[in-house]
Homo-oligomer: A and B are copies of this chain.
Amino acid sequence: MNHPKELSPAQVETHPFDHAMILERQADGRFRGHTSAAYWNMVGPYGGTTAALLLRAVMLSPERAGDPLSLTVNYLAPMSEGELMVDAELVRANRTNQHWSLRMSQGERPVATALAITAMRRETWSHTEARPPVVPRPEQCTPTPRAPLPFLQRYEFRHIEGTPFQAGGSSDTKEWVADNPPRPLDYPSLAALCDAFLPRIFLRRDRPIPISTVSMNIYFHTGAEVLQRHGSKPLLAVANGHVFSDGHFDQQGQLWGDGDALLATTHQIVWYKE
């Protein structure tokens, strides 16, 4: 499912996510990348890799200082297979943070806009008020079979709570999720994982219906060293939704690392047809 014609011998060995994340900085400062067949969704690239590419453009920018703090991605239009360009503008640099404005295009066509913030983390009074739910360990849970979409094969899900298409009374889900094959966690892969939650409406209805993420918001709550320590272990993914209303529903999610390390919280607003 890779792009065989573009793979050099070295790239054949790289993880599909690293291959999907290849961005080439051009003389004019724009970044050139490609959609990834390995992370293909139903009719276009997986929104998680789109978000990750936008974040990666920030991280590759020579002016970048600090770690990612927040990322908002608006998905403007379906993307086609092939080349994509990312413009990353540092709108303002402060003493403790940087504000980035991003746009992804295919040809003349904007396909995504984003805002990102990077920030210096400082030692302060810190406390994780939210608690992870008490759940069985990943090795006690069996991998969940998923639909044969390429991007779903790039993740290993282990079901804990919440089964799609049962028309249940709640959209709550809990599951373990990891890159497949395993890969050490970093900010772009964490951003991509934020889009790997089941669409909330699948929990409430009895069959798949057309859905499309319109906007995704991510707050990153730890420094890079916490992600490094986490390595390639599964993350505990917890999500629920508030409201399904007139063609859009929301979703809020948490991604937990070891212990009480809340790595990211994330929100989406999603279009649906029902």
Contacts and interface: CB of A to CB of B under 8 A. Distances in A.
A262 interface: yes
Contacts of A127: 204, 243-244
* Majority secondary structure, A binding face: strand
The 3 closest A-B pairs by CB, nearest first: A121-B246, A130-B242, A72-B72
A260 to B, nearest CB: 9
Interface stretch (A15-23, A42-50, A211-219): A211-219
Contact of A171 (B76, B129, B221): B129
A140 interface: no
Nearest to A222: B245
Interface residues of A, number: 62
Number of copies: 2
Nearest to A209: B125
Nearest to A78: B94
A204 B170 CA distance: 31
Interface of A: 69-70, 72, 74, 76-77, 91-92, 94, 96-97, 99, 101, 103, 110, 113-115, 117, 119-130, 170-171, 204-205, 214-215, 217, 219, 221-223, 240-248, 250, 252, 254, 262, 265, 267, 269, 271-274
B69 A244 contact: no
Contacts of A241: 129-130
B250 A221 contact: yes
Given A215-B70, A219-B250, A244 B125 contact: yes
A121 B246 CA distance: 5
8 contacts: A69-B248, A74-B99, A76-B94, A76-B99, A114-B115, A126-B244, A219-B250, A221-B250
Nearest to A110: B91
A124 B246 CA distance: 5
Contact of A247 (B72, B121, B265, B269): B121
A243 B72 contact: no
A181 to B, nearest CB: 30
A246 B68 CA distance: 13
B243 A128 contact: yes
B124 A242 contact: no
Which residue of A91, A119, A222, A245 has the most chain B CB atoms within 10 A of its CB atom?
Answer: A245
